[in-house]
Amino acid sequence: MPIAPQALVNQFIREGGTGKIAAVISPAKPSVTEAALLFDPGANFNGVSTPWQNGGRMTGRGVDLELNYQLQTGFGTFTSLTRASYLEDFMFGFKGDFRGWHVAGQSNNDVIEGAFFGQVTGGDGWMRWKGTELIDWTWKNWTLDWTVHYLAGFREEPARTGLNHQPVDGHERLHYVNATWFNDASLSYSFIFAPPVESQPVAGYSKGGKEVIKSKEGKEIESTASYSMPCWKTVLNNTTLTVGVLDIFGEDPPTELGFEQGNSTKYPGFNYDNLGRFVYGKLTKKF
C-alpha cells in the first residue's frame, strides 16, 4: 500500500525539509523506494512520490464443500448439487500492530478496518457460512430447477461516539445482520423431433431419412436425397421454452446500518439487490 501523500507533506513540513522526506527538483527523479516531495525548477510544489510499503498481514482459514447425488426413477432423474463454504477464521493486522483482529462473522467496515477492505458505505461482511443447493428434475423433455441460496448473518458495530471512537461506557453497540434464504426456480420444455426410421425399408421409401434406390447390380443403396420433417416440426425442433422466478417468496435483503449508520441503502449492497420477486421467460433455439 502507498503512504498517504498528506502524511508525507506533513512530515516534510515538521522536519523543515532536512529529514527523511527528500525534496526533489525537476528534472531529477526520485528512486522507486524513495519518499519525496517534487518541485519544479522554480521551487513550485509539483506533487508527491510515495513508495509502496508492507501494509500488514492477513490469514484466512476455512473449507469448501461439495456434494453431488443423482437418483434415477421411473418418473424422471433427480440430481442434487450442494455447495457450501465455511470461514473458520479470518485475521488481519496492520503494519506495526502486533494484535491480530479476528473478524470472521463480522462486517468489514467497522472502526478497526476503516476503508482498508473497500467502501465503508457499500455493506459487506465476512460470513462464516454461505452456500447453494440446486435440485434438478428431468423427465422426457421437461426440466425443473430449484435453487436455494443461503448467506449467513454477521455482526456490525453501527457507532462509536466516545473519545477516539471508543465506547463511552466500555460496551460495543452491536447490530446483527440477519441470515437469509432465497429461492429461485425455472421450468423448461424442449421440442426435440427426429425423422421416422423404417424398420424394413422398401426401395423408393425412407431409410433413416434417406431414399433407398437400387443400383444396376440390384444392390440397395442410399441416395443423398433427404426427407425433411413437416414445417412446424422443423421450426420448433431444438427449441427450449423456459419460465422462471427469482426470489420466489419476495423476501427483502437484511438490514445493515453501516458504520456511523452511513449505509445509504440500509442493506448489504455487495451481497444483495433490492429487485425483489422477478418473473421471466426465455426462448432458446439451436440451429
Query: Residue ranges per domain, the chain?
Result: 5-49, 58-190+241-285, 198-227
pLDDT in tens, 228-258: 678 888 888 889 999 999 999 999 999 998 8
pLDDT for 225: 46
Are the beta carbons of 155 and 176 closer than 8 angstroms? yes
Joined grid coordinates for residue 160:
462509536
pTM: 0.70
pLDDT in tens, 166-213: 554 455 678 899 999 999 999 999 998 877 655 555 555 544 545 555
Are the beta carbons of 277 and 245 closer than 8 angstroms? yes
Contacts by residues 57-65 (CB-CB < 8 Å, ≥ 24 positions apart): 57/92, 57/93, 58/90, 58/91, 58/92, 59/89, 59/90, 59/91, 59/92, 60/87, 60/89, 60/90, 60/91, 61/87, 61/88, 61/89, 61/90, 62/86, 62/87, 62/88, 62/89, 63/88, 65/131
**In terms of C-beta density within 10 A (0-12 exposed, 13-18 middle, 19 or more buried), how is residue 65 classed?**
exposed
For residues 277 and 201, give the distance between their C-alpha atoms in angstroms, rounded to a whole number. Answer: 55
Give the CA dihedral 105, 109, 113, 114, nearest 10 degrees. -170
Quote the distance between the C-alpha of residue 66 and its chain's center.
Answer: 17
